[in-house]
Amino acid sequence: ERGITIKAQAVRIYYQHGSGQQYQLNLIDTPGHVDFSYEVSRSLAACEGALLVVDATQGIQAQTLTNMYLALENNLEIIPVINKIDLPASEPDRISTELQQAFGFKESDMLFVSAKVGSGVKNVLDAIVDRIPSPNADITQPLQALIFDSMYNSYKGAVAYVRVFQGSIKTRDRIKMMASAATTEAMEIGVFNPHPTEIHELFAGEVGYIATGLKNVSDCGVGDTITKEFNEARESLPGYVPLKPMVFAGIYPSDGESFMELREALEKLSLNDSALVYENEMSIALGPGFRCGFLGLLHMDVVQERLEREYKLALLATSPSVSYRVSLADGGQISVDNPSNLPAVQEIEQIQEPWLNLRVITPSKYIGPVMELLNTRRGEYILMEYLQYGVNASNSISGYNEGRVLIEYGIPLSEVLFDFYDQLKSISQGYASMDYSITGYRPSKLVRLDILVNQKPVDALSLIVHRDKAYQNGKALVERLKEIIPRQLFEVPIQAAVGSRIIARQTIKALRKNVLAKCYGGDVTRKRKLLEKQAEGKKRMKRVGNVEIPQEAF
């Protein structure tokens, strides 16, 4: 619905080649967005080759570079495909030149396709058969099947999506997971055509699924190797290096009663999305929940949406933060991904935050605004490179291709979390694309910004921010909270504090009940007495009253 792929999808097709021979092709469609590079790396490890699909109107994007290097690391045969050539704004020749210059392809390697109208598709299928080597597999060897994805089915248990490298497997064979040592029986074996279709046996070189019946989802992890229980393979296949989560947020059920349902949903979802990590967390303001780790903001957004849609949960997510390394005065070092866990200022020697190497590809006319945005986010310039190769800009149909530029900056991850991608798209009218990789940690002047409502700190609203930005962030937060928190019968101060110092404040005025309505005539002291009694009551209420913070505040 957003025009992006968020999950790798496998399919098997049969294709009649020009030579008259029929071939079985096993394909995986992967996401391209940087937050899902884990899906791409897992898929590449299970394949012999890859199609590099580039948009004929947009050209090389930042994630194209990253995914291309991933494929080269896996020694895959790469077929460049230029798609959407039917659009009036397409410039296939310019994009072809760009790909040849950037990656060293030959002109004869290029395939020009319009998937929409179907032109050039036969050439792509012929190229897969001609250029990509067939699997190097031996059916007589002990079974070795790599789990590249998995899902949970309430009737069949954990269902492993596998690529069989050696040997074969039939329904009812006893199987063993080599990493978790769990044993079970293969309840059902099938292939994707594109819907799961049951078959009797899977052979080396083929791709399909195995319904394991395992109810404990952690027994069937992605990257594990399946072998037979009584004829084990000598060694497991090289799995995947688990990616470290970069963005952390608290996820809580809207009502405390759904806590167990949320835990089960996270267990099942983490089987299908192994980049998701979570642990129990208790918040004073929100009750029991989970601290979840994600690969990026889009990943967090998708996980939250899937939990709400697929598992019918009403959820509340706290503001995202990153993982900081804190060096303590006593010589120790701890990792902090929740602002409320940051030690007191006097105990801290130094705080280090994660830095990115950020690559932005943009049309050259937007260089100024893009660099200004990067500089305001504490970015450090590394390099700038033009990607336009000998093409006259006046020939450009869309007016967008006056030359494209790759800009590389070092930037803190925390600065990319909030609004950065939206601002980048808006200043470049949607043409800029970005991609990043983590380069390490650097020391920085960071402080914890606490929010106090009615002089009580609210742990779920705390943030870790750069000292120079503490005032503007605190001011913006208290102003926003003033609009969201409903008025009470007493005055409610909302304060932003760094340590013991208040840096911003807003006050929600009290609702005033007219106690003089029943008082008519008589001495003025009667009115004063009623007003003093009201003031006394409000003082007491402010001392003992609790302010209910609505969910949208978090």
CA 145 distance to own-chain centroid:
28
Distance, in Å, from the CA atom of 56 to the CA atom of 60, rounded to the nearest integer, reads: 9
What is the rounded average pLDDT of the residues 313-317? 84
Task: Please give the structure tokens belonging to residue 70.
Answer: 């991933």
What is the rounded average pLDDT of the residues 535-548? 68
What is the rounded average pLDDT of the residues 448-458? 86
What is the rounded average pLDDT of the residues 60-69? 79
The model's pLDDT over 516-533, given as tens digits with 9 standing for 90+, comes to 777 777 778 878 888 888
Judged against a pLDDT cut of 50, whether residue 391 lies above it is answered with: no
By percentage, how much of the chain surpasses pLDDT 90?
Answer: 2
Residue 19's pLDDT is 81
Judged against a pLDDT cut of 50, whether residue 401 lies above it is answered with: no
Judged against a pLDDT cut of 80, whether residue 283 lies above it is answered with: no
What is the rounded average pLDDT of the residues 417-439? 79
Helix, strand, or coil (residue 508): strand
This prediction's pTM = 0.67
Query: Mean pLDDT for the chain?
Result: 81
Residue 551's pLDDT is 65
Cis peptide before 486 (omega within 30 of 0): no
| Of 33-37, 61-65, 346-350, 394-398, the least confident | 394-398
Which of 212, 148, 203, 155 lies closest to 182 in space, CA to CA? Answer: 212
Judged against a pLDDT cut of 50, whether residue 235 lies above it is answered with: yes
Task: Please give the structure tokens belonging to residue 521.
Answer: 């005539």
Cβ burial 278-306 (10 Å sphere, 16+ → b, else e): beebebebbeebbbbbbbbbbbbbbbbeb
Helix, strand, or coil (residue 143): coil
Distances (CA, A) of 172 to 77, 228, 255: 36, 11, 43
CB atoms within 10 A of CB 310: 12
Judged against a pLDDT cut of 60, whether residue 400 lies above it is answered with: no
Transcribe 9-77 into DSSP letters: EEEEEEEE-TTS-EEEEEEEE---SGGGHHHHHHHHHT-SEEEEEEETTT-S-HHHHHHHHHHHHTT-E
Q: Which stretch of DSSP H or E encloses residue 308?
A: helix 297-310
Are residues 322 and 337 in contact, defined by beta-carbon separation less than 8 angstroms? yes
Backbone angles phi, psi at 511, to 5 degrees: -75, 130
Residue 243's pLDDT is 66
CB-count exposure of residue 253 (10 Å: 0-12, 13-18, 19+) = buried
Task: Please give the structure tokens belonging to residue 3.
Answer: 């025009």
Judged against a pLDDT cut of 70, whether residue 118 lies above it is answered with: yes
Judged against a pLDDT cut of 60, whether residue 393 lies above it is answered with: no
Distance, in Å, from the CA atom of 203 to the CA atom of 143, rounded to the nearest integer, reads: 9
Residue 44's pLDDT is 80
| Of 62-66, 165-169, 480-484, the least confident | 62-66
Q: Residue 272 carries which side chain, given as an amino acid letter?
A: N
What is the rounded average pLDDT of the residues 66-84? 85
Judged against a pLDDT cut of 80, whether residue 553 lies above it is answered with: no
